[in-house]
Amino acid sequence: MQHHHQSSQLHQSAEAHEQSHHVIAVKTYLMIYLALMLLLALTVGAYFLDMGSHQINLAVAMTIAVVKAVLIVLFFMHVYYSAPLTWITAVGSLLWVGLLLAFLLADYFSRGWLDILGK
Amino acid sequence: MQASTSTLPDAGTGRQILLSHFDDLDQQHLSSNLGMWFFLVSEVMFFSGLIGAYAVYRALSPVAFERASGHMDLWVGFFNTLVLLTSSLTMALAVRCSQIGDNRGIVRYLIATAVLGTVFLGVKGFEWKQEIDHHLLPGPHFVVPAEDAEALRAVSVGTDGQFDPVKYARNLGHFQMMFVLYFFMTGVHAFHMIVGVAAVLIFAVLAQIRWFSGYGTTQIEVLGLYWHFVDVVWVFLYPLLYLIG
């Protein structure tokens, strides 16, 4: 309650205050933890499942990893409740990674396409 | 508004000290948070470079990567993932305790987080020891196990269907490359863990002696961001290194 007293004193906006002090219920944390455990079990389960090709296995494993990462980032790292600037920064990292991987892989996998001398 | 030293009467109480260069506490909190996020974005780029190298080599020699990954114990990795995810839960609860002003809870959960982090590092060290004993540490003592060399010989065929020695040499090299990436990725990850465990322990002591103002909500939350990030990295490393093929 002390925080509320301070915020009225300092004329902070209720929204900014909520963004920096949102308290998540213990139950929510436990639910996220349980979901992460289930996804971990699912990853290992998917490994033992023959899905026809290694590409499909890889895609499934990476999809599960992304879901786990999103849960951690949104709830354990509080991004879900954070200020828009934090959202932009967090999502921005995906943009940079996307650029890095897209151009790196485009370079390596298109090298064999054209028979250019001295390549 | 107030000077930034912890010797002021506000230190160790529920009231957070506002540093003179901020307008209000929320701005101060957001700035600290954002600073850590900018650092984490650069960390994402750092690990992505390694994952990019991994993607290129794995695409060039998929069988070599599968054979190399076969030497890693997926259940040990499973246990370590479980330990790390649990440490993220205790870290999140430590942050929550700092928000509601439960100082004993902060210390308890921070110590739990440090213990779990140390367990992770211990298990990782045990794994490295095993791999080094099996001559799987890249370098002059590296030996491609006979059955893996045999499997790689079988897939090293040219377009004419004949055995291709150049492809074979490349596959053997990429088998070792998988271990270069494995030791480097898990190594820098472990380095981040060591830094994290040390910081968590320092914070536990600071919380215990009530060094922080406002129960260190901002500081502990920023430390939590770092810890969870290291967890996220492992969430990707586990399937990429242990669960292939």
Question: Is residue B17 a part of any domain in this protein?
Answer: no
Long-range contacts (CB closer than 8 Å, 24 or more residues apart) made by A1-6: A2/B14, A2/B15, A2/B101, A3/B25, A6/B15, A6/B16, A6/B25
The 10s digit of each residue's pLDDT in B159-172 is: 888 999 999 999 99
Q: What is the DSSP letter of B163?
A: B
Question: Is residue B238 a part of any domain in this protein?
Answer: yes
Which residue do the tokens 């999502």 mark?
Answer: A91
Question: Is residue A69 a part of any domain in this protein?
Answer: yes
What percentage of residues in chain B have a pLDDT greater than 70? 94
Looking at the structure of chain B, the number of domains it has is 1
Residue A93 · residue A65 · CB < 8 Å: no
For range A32-43, the mean pLDDT: 96
pLDDT at A42 over 50: yes
What is the CB neighbour count within 10 angstroms for residue A86?
21
The 10s digit of each residue's pLDDT in A92-108 is: 998 999 999 999 989 88
- Would you call A36 and B85 a contact, using CB atoms and an 8 Å cutoff? yes
Question: Is residue A14 a part of any domain in this protein?
Answer: yes
User: Which residues on adjacent β-strands are paired with residue B157?
Assistant: B163
Q: How far is B179 from B187, CA to CA, in rounded Å?
A: 11
For range A53-58, the mean pLDDT: 86
CA-based nearest residue to B50, from B166, B191, B216, B148: B191
* Residue B67 vs residue B11, higher pLDDT: B67
Looking at the structure of chain A, the number of domains it has is 1
Question: Is residue B20 a part of any domain in this protein?
Answer: no
Q: Which pLDDT value is given to residue B5?
A: 46
Question: Is residue B219 a part of any domain in this protein?
Answer: yes
Residue B58 · residue A51 · CB < 8 Å: no
Question: Is residue A8 a part of any domain in this protein?
Answer: yes
Question: Is residue A81 less than 8 Å (CB to CB) from chain B?
Answer: no
pLDDT at A68 over 60: yes
pLDDT at B40 over 90: yes
Question: Is residue A26 less than 8 Å (CB to CB) from chain B?
Answer: yes
Q: Which pLDDT value is given to residue B13?
A: 57
Question: Is residue A78 a part of any domain in this protein?
Answer: yes
Question: Is residue A100 a part of any domain in this protein?
Answer: no
pLDDT band for B11, please (50, 70, 90 cuts): low
The 10s digit of each residue's pLDDT in B74-94 is: 999 999 999 999 999 999 999
Domain containing A28 equals 2-82
* Residue B108 vs residue A17, higher pLDDT: B108
Contact residues, chain A, for B217 at CB < 8 Å: 21
pLDDT at B118 over 50: yes
CB-nearest partner of B52 from A36, A43, A100: A100
Contact residues, chain B, for A78 at CB < 8 Å: 95, 221
Domain containing B34 equals 25-242
Question: Is residue A23 less than 8 Å (CB to CB) from chain B?
Answer: yes
Residue B231 · residue B204 · CB < 8 Å: no
CB-nearest partner of A33 from B45, B56, B85: B85
pLDDT at A119 over 80: no
Residue type, position B85, single letter: L
CATH of the domain at B114: 1.20.120.80
Kind and range of the H or E element at B34?
Answer: helix B25-60
CB-nearest partner of A86 from B37, B66, B86: B37
What is the CB neighbour count within 10 angstroms for residue A18?
13
Q: Which pLDDT value is given to residue B216?
A: 86
pLDDT band for A114, please (50, 70, 90 cuts): confident
CA distances to A109, B57, B141, B164 from B176, in Å? 22, 11, 11, 19
For range A52-81, the mean pLDDT: 91
Question: Is residue B167 a part of any domain in this protein?
Answer: yes
Residue B117 · residue A39 · CB < 8 Å: no
- Would you call B34 and A86 a contact, using CB atoms and an 8 Å cutoff? yes
The average confidence (pLDDT) of chain B is: 91
What percentage of residues in chain B have a pLDDT greater than 90? 78
Q: Hey, which residues 27-46 in chain A have their CB within 8 Å of chain B?
A: 29-30, 33, 36-37, 40, 43-44
Stated pTM of the model: 0.88
pLDDT at B15 over 70: yes
- Would you call B62 and A54 a contact, using CB atoms and an 8 Å cutoff? yes
pLDDT at B121 over 60: yes
- Give the burial string for A24-52 (b: 16+ CB within 10 Å, else e): beeeebeebbeebeebbeebbebbeeeee
Which chain B residue has the Cα nearest residue A16?
A: B26
Question: Is residue A118 a part of any domain in this protein?
Answer: no
User: Which residues on adjacent β-strands are paired with residue B163?
Assistant: B157
